[in-house]
């Protein structure tokens, strides 16, 4: 007899399908990006529940145009009352950062509001530095670029929220386990 998942199991499967859809379209559009946040932690092996998808996108005009194409294909819209294309404007992003203390810009699916993508509006760490240390995960034939643990800790430290501090501790614990595992294998 098949196991009944219940409401939380169904939501979990739905969230995984959302991630898969986003990663597939970003790959098709050849967007330069990296996964950060809770999904990055989960991919590294930290047990953490998260629904939104946090990304760093390389902020060149060409890459942002590809990213906006992907967002349109996903049928996502900005959570703020602005036009989708406003995200392309570097001066506007800078004013959001300085005047509104905005760090990320949120896109969401109006037909399924739980589907959210948060994107950094400014390169806190230059993307070319992040790109040098990316780790790649393969899921269902899709290559997913993920920031290094070092950069993930740096990005988490910037916000300083209690969850981010807990995430930093979880990464450090994971690194400790990995070091001990390497030591035992020698």
Rounded to whole angstroms, the Cα distance separating 32 from 141 reads 18
Residue 12 pLDDT? 55
Residue 8 pLDDT? 42
Specify the CATH architecture of the domain 27-148. Answer: 2-Layer Sandwich (3.30)
Angstrom distances, CA of residue 120 to CA of 1, 102, 169: 45, 9, 22
Residue 134 has pLDDT above 80, yes or no: yes
Residue 182 has pLDDT above 70, yes or no: no
What confidence tens digit (pLDDT) does each residue in 143-179 have?
999 999 999 999 999 877 899 999 999 999 989 888 8
Average confidence (pLDDT) over 82-111: 95
What confidence tens digit (pLDDT) does each residue in 21-43 have?
999 999 999 999 999 999 999 99
User: CA triplet 170, 176, 178: central angle to 5 degrees?
Assistant: 105
Residue 11 has pLDDT above 60, yes or no: no
Q: Where are the domains of the chain?
A: 27-148
Query: When comparing pLDDT for 81 and 183, which is higher?
Result: 81
Give the length of the chain: 186
Confidence of residue 60 (pLDDT cuts 50, 70, 90): very high
Percent share of the chain, pLDDT over 90:
70
Beta-carbon contacts of 34 under 8 Å, excluding residues fewer than 6 positions away, are 55, 56, 127, 130, 131, 134, 145, 146, 147
Confidence of residue 14 (pLDDT cuts 50, 70, 90): low
Average confidence (pLDDT) over 69-89: 96
Residue 116 pLDDT? 96
Average confidence (pLDDT) over 125-151: 95
Residue 9 has pLDDT above 50, yes or no: no
Residue 16 pLDDT? 79
């Amino acid at each position: 007899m098949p196991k009944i998942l219940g409401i939380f199991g169904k939501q979990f499967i739905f969230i995984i399908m959302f991630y898969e859809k986003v990663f597939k379209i970003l790959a098709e559009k050849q967007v330069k990006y990296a996964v950060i946040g809770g999904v990055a932690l989960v991919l590294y092996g930290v047990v953490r529940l998260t629904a939104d998808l946090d990304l760093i996108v390389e902020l060149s005009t060409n890459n942002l145009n590809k990213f906006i194409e992907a967002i349109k294909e996903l049928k996502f819209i900005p959570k703020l009352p602005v036009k989708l294309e406003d995200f392309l404007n570097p001066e506007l992003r800078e004013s959001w950062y300085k005047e509104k203390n905005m760090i990320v810009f949120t896109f969401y699916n109006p037909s399924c509001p739980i589907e959210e993508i948060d994107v950094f509006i400014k390169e806190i760490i230059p993307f070319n530095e992040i790109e040098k240390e990316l780790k790649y995960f393969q899921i269902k034939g899709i290559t997913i670029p993920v920031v290094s643990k070092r950069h993930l800790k740096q990005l988490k430290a910037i916000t300083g929220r209690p969850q981010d501090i807990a995430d930093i501790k979880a990464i450090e614990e994971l690194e400790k386990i990995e070091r001990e595992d390497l030591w035992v294998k020698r």
